[in-house]
Chain A
Amino acid sequence: MQRLVELVLLLIVLTNFMVLGTSRLSTCIRAIAFQGLLLGLLPPLLHRSLAVYTVALALSAIAVKAIILPRFLQWAIREASVRREIEPRIGFVASLLLGAVAVAVAFGTAQQLPLPDRGGSLAVAVSLATVICGLIVLTSRARALTQVVGYLMLENGVYLFGLTQAARVPFLVELGMLLDVFVGVFIMGIVVFHINREFDSLSDTDLTELSER
């Protein structure tokens, strides 16, 4: 069981690299959907139980993070007919390297942290790495849609940290988080859709009308 958990966690890091390294938006979305699926698998694996609570959490996470939101984002790129990220502020090679550094930092930090149980150290490391990679995507990419993917990644990282504390964080709160993320991304998607209609390029480099002159 422990091996399986480790495998899932490692795959999560690899999906991070995938998002960082690809220029194709649909690959990005597929990677984030896969990451959502992996996150959904974690609660039953981590707690080694099939109680109603863990299964419900797993199913709702899969439904939201792996099915509904990715499909919605796919819809958005189809409507907006964008396929590729334009050359970002930080290039793909550079952001991959940054991602590798982030993973190293996250694993190093998780080692130092006073953790309740040593077994959770890998999960904490992966969650921190995912948070940092999400921030890298958010700040380095020019397309509004990729930024939404970055936000989802960041949320996934935080959610994973929450799972390591799952015994302490109640079910209701986790469901609330899922709901908030769901609505948040939905609203972002709609805004992205409107940005596309108004600016026909879906890039936030155009969003510069408001600034101090």
Chain B
Amino acid sequence: MLSAIAGLLLVMLVAPLLPGVAGRTKAILTGRRGPPLLQLYYDLARLFRKGVVYSTTTTWMFRLAPVVLAVSALLAACLIPLDGHAAIVGFAGDVIVFTYLLALGRFVLVLASLDTGSSFEGMGASREVTFASFTEVAFFFALIALSLATDSLSFAGMLGAPLVTAWPSAAPSIVMAAATLFVVLLAETSRVPFDDPATHLELTMIHEVMVLDHGGPDLALILYASALKLTLFASIVISVVVPRGMLNPFLALAVLAAGLLAVGIAIGIVESVMARLRLTRVPQVLVAAGALAAFGVILLLR
């Protein structure tokens, strides 16, 4: 239990670092210096000190959304066995709760952006929901593959000790699930090639355009929640690729920290070698990722 709480504190603490690592990697690979690693921490600190301005067209939904988003992300974090053994809360079917907690966050954010009445934000919301409907399928197929491989329905089994024993016999399916999860990670957290967090043109944005009207602590909560979401998906990918069920819980946390750094660098590399996909091609890639995981499932059903 202690290690689980330590794990939760770890991801809460390092979450804002991950986008920084990705950004720095990308900057170095493209020959620039880039912002400091801790930039997101500075931004959050600054935003929390600011006041908020609300448009007169918005309602209570707009104010509620950032809080719900951040809380749902935190609750989701409690469901993942970060130390490789057990989560703070774990039960059969917690994977579904995890998915729907994240979906709830997305749902309120979409409602809040529609609440502003701005056509740009409406467009972003529409894209976000469209792509989410593809990523969720891919994510579920990857989870089904893991669940079949480990013969369990909870994160504790799928990412814990049973996974270690499943690896030798179900390696191909697990690798395919991991690859799908990485694609889902990029899509869910609005990274290149699905979305470009650095873009300045509203027409090409997906996630960023939805939060244009948020400011101050609200924006800080949204930024923090999306960084946390990135860290959570990264933790899942790491847990699948490097099963830590046999390690000492605290050693496992150290591995997790190293893994998060590696994922951050990997995202940076992907962002610097790939261009953003045309919007029409995004579903194609997501379906391909889903098909990959589905193939993993088929292999396990044999």
User: Which residue numbers of A lie inside 8 Å of B, CB to CB?
Assistant: 3, 6-7, 10, 13-14, 17, 21, 92-93, 96-97, 99-100, 103-104, 107, 111, 121-122, 125
Contacts and interface: CB of A to CB of B under 8 A. Distances in A.
Interface in B114-172: 171-172
B282 to A, nearest CB: 10
Interface residues of B, number: 16
A96 B172 contact: no
Contacts of A21: 284-285, 287-288, 291
B288 A17 contact: yes
For the complex of A and B, 6 pairs with smallest distance between CB atoms: A100-B291, A21-B288, A93-B287, A107-B298, A96-B287, A92-B284
Given A10-B295, A21-B285, A107-B299, 9 more contacts: A6-B172, A14-B292, A17-B295, A21-B284, A21-B288, A96-B291, A97-B287, A99-B291, A104-B298
Interface of B: 171-172, 283-285, 287-288, 290-292, 294-295, 298-299, 301-302
Q: Is the interface of A mostly helix, strand, loop or mixed?
A: helix
Nearest to B285: A21
B299 A96 contact: no
A100 B283 contact: no
A103 B295 contact: yes
A96 B295 contact: no
25 contacts: A6-B172, A7-B172, A10-B299, A13-B295, A14-B292, A14-B295, A17-B288, A17-B291, A17-B295, A21-B287, A21-B288, A21-B291, A93-B284, A93-B287, A96-B291, A97-B291, A99-B291, A100-B290, A103-B294, A104-B294, A104-B298, A107-B298, A107-B299, A107-B302, A125-B302
B283 A93 contact: yes
Contacts of B290: 100
Contacts of B292: 14, 17
A3 B298 CA distance: 17
A120 to B, nearest CB: 13
B72 to A, nearest CB: 30
B302 A96 contact: no
Nearest to A122: B302
Contacts of B288: 17, 21, 96
A92 B281 CA distance: 9
B301 A107 contact: yes
Contacts of A7: 172
Nearest to B293: A100
A121 B302 contact: yes
Nearest to A7: B172
A122 B171 CA distance: 15
A103 B302 contact: no
Interface-centre pick from A14, A92, A93, A122 (highest chain B CB count, 10 A): A93
Nearest to A97: B287
Contacts of B295: 10, 13-14, 17, 100, 103
B140 to A, nearest CB: 14
A92 B286 CA distance: 12
Nearest to B134: A93
